[in-house]
Amino acid sequence: MTIEKKVKLNIKLLKEKGAPIIIVGAVQESEAVANACRDFGIVISAFCDSEPRKSKDILRMEVLCDLEVIHTPSLPKRYPNARFIIACQHVQDVVEQLTGYGYDDFYSPLELIENYNVSKFEHTVSSLYMEKRLAVCKKTHKSYFDDNQIYMRSIDIMVTTKCSLKCNNCSNLMQYYTSPEHTEDKKILEALKIIDENVDGISEFRIIGGEPLMNKGWANIVTKINERHPEGQIFIYTNGTILPKEDQIKSFDSKLVNFIITDYGKLSRNADKMTDLLNKHNISYDRSLAQGWVDCSSIKHHKRSIEDNMEVFKQCCVKYVYTLLEGKLYRCPFIANAANLRAIPDNPANYVDLFSEKKNIKQEMKRLVKVAKFFPGCDFCVGRPYDPTSSVGYDGKGIIEAGEQVSQVIPYKLYE
Ligand code: SF4
Ligand code: SF4
């Protein structure tokens, strides 16, 4: 199936007089796109973004780009006619959303960023980080124009379903596991090899759980990924409860391995020691407080129409969070864990079974990555929209308290 390409590559057309020009996505690389436009003589009127918090985050963008960030649903009122440069990575999603608002003039920034000189401008992020973001942006746009290319910006590698915390509303559904387990390094690395053989590129590898540091094989997995993908960034998502061993940390390439520490206050009992250790070995990390989660962890059969499930999927902000769990590749952590828990009926349409001998894996990957408009598992999910204040395609409670602990496993309906 070929997707109709509505996005134009010829950016010069935007130098001609016409409707105001908006950059889609208040993401870090948008700054570079705005700079390149200015250099090239293209006048930008504003940014837009589907996440409401981004339109409140005007200050950050104003300081550097002197442009307003508009919440995308408000665009038709503010700019009934507009032309768009799509700076964010989910090109087809943006086209579908904006086409729904009646717009039809879209451009890729590929020509602008192809030879962008990062050192010529100041950015809110480091030059090295901007270069990496732009490299990913170029790959996603090239993959949009080439139907045969399968590119995954990032993949979540679930190394365990065990967690040292038990958060009531864990979006990875840890609160439902009665018998959580680690996955063996060998199985994970073999599955990753099969994925590698069937995709054209992966830029980021995210090691997650549960708490990934509970699986003693985590450091070996990181090292092996690093060897196979010397350009790939590796992010380890941890809750700051378990201190990694110094021997493990010091063997890592400090430019490629990064820790993302979610700080649950007193519960993250080793977070301070962890940051000391990472500082000592010059390993980059981000430590941020757990706050303001979107309620998305209930499992319930909604029995929606196909159209309604397509809408839930369309609004979903994690539908590109490719998740590897127990030899199967999924499009999001909800379906991955709901299927693993057997909290939804087994349906091969929900995943690619990497160890299946019968199937054409490449074809299956293409279905998962490029073709699917929703998955059977979406019918069991309340949704996880970019804008949780909107009821379109969402049936959850909106923003909820993060990290609230439960003492017991939460029961659910088991599908045999
Ligand atoms: S720390 Fe909480 S949110 Fe994170 S994986 Fe564990 S249970 Fe889930
Ligand atoms: S099940 Fe569907 S709607 Fe829910 S998080 Fe996954 S992709 Fe999004």
pLDDT in tens, 148-206: 889 998 999 999 999 999 999 999 999 999 999 999 999 999 999 999 999 999 989 99
Compute CA distances 249 → 258, 269, 281, whole Å.
11, 19, 7
Average pLDDT over residues 59-78: 77
Cβ count within 10 A of residue 255: 11
Q: Say if CB 67 and CB 47 are below 8 A apart.
A: yes
pLDDT digits over 13-26, tens only?
Answer: 999 999 999 999 98
Q: Give residue 251's pLDDT.
A: 85
Listed in sequence order, the DSSP H helices in 251-348 are 271-280, 306-315, 333-340
Cβ count within 10 A of residue 81: 11
Q: Give residue 125's pLDDT.
A: 83
Q: Do residue 386 and residue 282 come from a single domain?
A: yes
Q: Do residue 237 and residue 328 come from a single domain?
A: yes
Q: Do residue 95 and residue 174 come from a single domain?
A: no
What distance lies between CA 53 and its chain's CA centroid?
17
- Of 89, 120, 144, the one marking the end of a domain is 144
Q: Do residue 305 and residue 374 come from a single domain?
A: yes
Of 200, 211, 206, 174, nearest to 188 by C-alpha is 206
Asked whether 319 lines ligand 2 (CB < 6 A), one says yes
Asked whether 210 lines ligand 2 (CB < 6 A), one says no
Structural domain includes residue 416: no
Encoding tokens for residue 315? 């609004």
Structural domain includes residue 387: yes
Q: Do residue 89 and residue 208 come from a single domain?
A: no
- Of 124, 144, 164, the one marking the end of a domain is 144
Q: Do residue 33 and residue 93 come from a single domain?
A: yes
Structural domain includes residue 188: yes
- Model confidence at 4, pLDDT cuts 50, 70, 90, reads low
Q: Is the pLDDT of residue 279 over 80?
A: yes
Q: Give residue 1's pLDDT.
A: 47
Q: Do residue 164 and residue 299 come from a single domain?
A: yes
Q: Do residue 163 and residue 121 come from a single domain?
A: no
Structural domain includes residue 415: no
Number of domains in the chain: 2
143 CA from centroid of ligand 2 (Å): 23
Nearest CA residue ID for atom 2, ligand 1: 167
3-state secondary structure of 48: strand
Structural domain includes residue 405: no
Q: Do residue 184 and residue 108 come from a single domain?
A: no
Structural domain includes residue 408: no
Q: Give residue 393's pLDDT.
A: 85
Query: Which ligand is closest to the CA of 293, given by its number?
Result: 1
Amino acid at 56: K
The range of the structural domain enclosing residue 59 comes to 3-144
What distance lies between CA 160 and its chain's CA centroid?
19
Which mutation among 334, 344, 375, 382 tests ligand 2's pocket best, with the greatest number of atoms within 8 A of CB?
A: 334
Pocket of ligand 1 (CB under 6 A): 163, 165-167, 170, 172, 174, 209-211, 239
What's the CATH number where 62 sits?
3.40.50.720
Average pLDDT over residues 50-56: 78
Q: Is the pLDDT of residue 82 over 90?
A: yes
Nearest CA residue ID for atom 3, ligand 1: 170
Structural domain includes residue 284: yes
Q: Do residue 328 and residue 373 come from a single domain?
A: yes
Q: Do residue 252 and residue 361 come from a single domain?
A: yes
Structural domain includes residue 407: no
**Would you list the DSSP string of 140-198?**
HHHHHH-TT--EEEEEEEE-BS--SS-BTT-TT-GGG-SS--BPPHHHHHHHHHHHHHH
What's the CATH number where 245 sits?
3.20.20.70
Q: Is the pLDDT of residue 63 over 60?
A: no
- Of 144, 166, 199, the one marking the end of a domain is 144
Q: Do residue 99 and residue 160 come from a single domain?
A: no
Q: Give residue 402's pLDDT.
A: 96
138 CA from centroid of ligand 2 (Å): 26
